[in-house]
Amino acid sequence: MSISFIKGHGTENDFVLVPDADGALAGRLDEQVVRRLTDRHAGIGADGVIRVTRTETMAEFGGLADDAEWFMDYRNADGSVAEMCGNGVRVMARYLWEERLVEGPVLALATRGGVRTVHGEPDGTLTVEMGHAKPAATRQLSFVAAGGRTWEATPVWVPNPHAVVFVDDLAEPGRLVEPPELRPPSLFPESANVEFVADRGRKHIALRVWERGVGETRSCGTGVCAAAWVAMRRDGAGVGARYVVDVPGGQLAVTERPDGELLLTGPAVLGLRGRVNL
């Protein structure tokens, strides 16, 4: 089987996009195929795979077709399914606009985490309505251990699960070659992304992120939202707060609307195109 692909990234969080408008590849991009595509030594190389398909082809989510024509079928690099990806949503929107598959400056995309609306900005960046952050339902303390150290963490879902940790120096966790330990594991039955966050100034933070199913990545859109949301509560930021977030791959901005909706703004870039034999 031969398929076409497009490589794209958002602040160097990179993806292999596979166009599949009619859903012919549903079920064929299994765990083994995804791992081959994302392998950085023997494949194309990426943090994840996005199958670009019409929402009506998704049996479980077809009811969203009236709200969003296109669906982001997202897989992590290890083949596992994720609810959505904030950087990936922007990259997929960029692809649909550049291919003239959609029109207008506003685009609705369906994901496993719900419908996300993307706005094209005058400066070329894209803003995604990421939904509301959801804190843990329990007051049970959560902890993250890495590099021989342990920190208290704040659990939050956006909608992917995250554990946000504040550190004095981003070097504290050391080389993240193994998944950070989450305690208690029962709080995150499907594991979680971990954000190590340091202050850079007023309403300005920086982070490193370990993504479940991927490893340490250059950026994570939902992780940036989670970190900014927790920082806003820590700082007592008011309605309409906007935080700048530095990631290894660039810079993003998170704004919280008065209704609690989180807006993620940043770049989306398309690059290599081709075909690959599976």
Domain ranges of the chain: 2-131+267-277, 134-256
The pLDDT tens digits for 250-271 are 999 999 999 999 999 999 999 9
pLDDT of residue 152: 97
Per annotation, catalytic residue among 16, 58, 128, 220: 220
> Residue ranges for the binding site for substrate?
13, 76, 86-87, 160, 193, 211-212, 221-222
Return the percentage of the chain with pLDDT > 70, whole number: 100
Mean of pLDDT values over 44-56:
98
DSSP string computed for the chain: -EEEEEEEEETTEEEEEEE-TT-TTTTTS-HHHHHHHH-TTTSS--SEEEEEEEGGG-TTTGGGTTT-SEEEEEEETTS-B-S--HHHHHHHHHHHHHTTSS-SSEEEEEETTEEEEEEE-TTS-EEEE----EE-SS---EEEEETTEEEEEEEEESSSEEEEEE-S-TTTT----SPPEEESGGG-TT--EEEEEEEEETTEEEEEEEETTTEEES--HHHHHHHHHHHHHHHT--TT-EEEEEETTEEEEEEE-TTS-EEEEE--EEEEEEEEE-
Mean of pLDDT values over 11-39:
96
Strands 114-120 and 106-111: antiparallel
The pLDDT tens digits for 189-237 are 999 999 999 999 999 999 999 999 999 999 999 999 999 999 999 999 9
Cis bond before residue 135 (omega within 30° of 0): no
pLDDT of residue 1: 83
**Gyration radius from the chain CA atoms:** 18
**Residue 13, token pair as written in the block:** 């969080």
The pLDDT tens digits for 63-82 are 999 999 999 999 999 999 99
Closest CA to 128 of 169, 158, 164, 156: 158
pLDDT of residue 217: 97
137 pLDDT higher than 90: no
Mean of pLDDT values over 29-39:
96
Mean pLDDT of the chain: 96
Mean of pLDDT values over 146-158:
96
> Residue ranges for the binding site?
13, 76, 86-87, 160, 193, 211-212, 221-222
220 part of the active site: yes
Return the percentage of the chain with pLDDT > 90, whole number: 96
126 pLDDT higher than 90: yes
CATH number of 134-256: 3.10.310.10
pLDDT of residue 184: 94
Per annotation, catalytic residue among 85, 128, 158, 252: 85
- Topology, domain 2-131+267-277: Diaminopimelate Epimerase; Chain A, domain 1 (3.10.310)
pLDDT of residue 140: 85
**Residue 35, token pair as written in the block:** 């791992």
pLDDT of residue 33: 96
pLDDT of residue 278: 82
What's the number of CA atoms in the CB half-sphere (13 Å) around residue 211? Answer: 30
Q: How far apart are CA 86 and CA 274, in angstroms?
A: 24
85 part of the active site: yes
| Confidence band of 139 (pLDDT split at 50, 70, 90) | confident
Please tell me which residue, 126 or 140, carries the higher pLDDT value: 126
| Confidence band of 239 (pLDDT split at 50, 70, 90) | confident
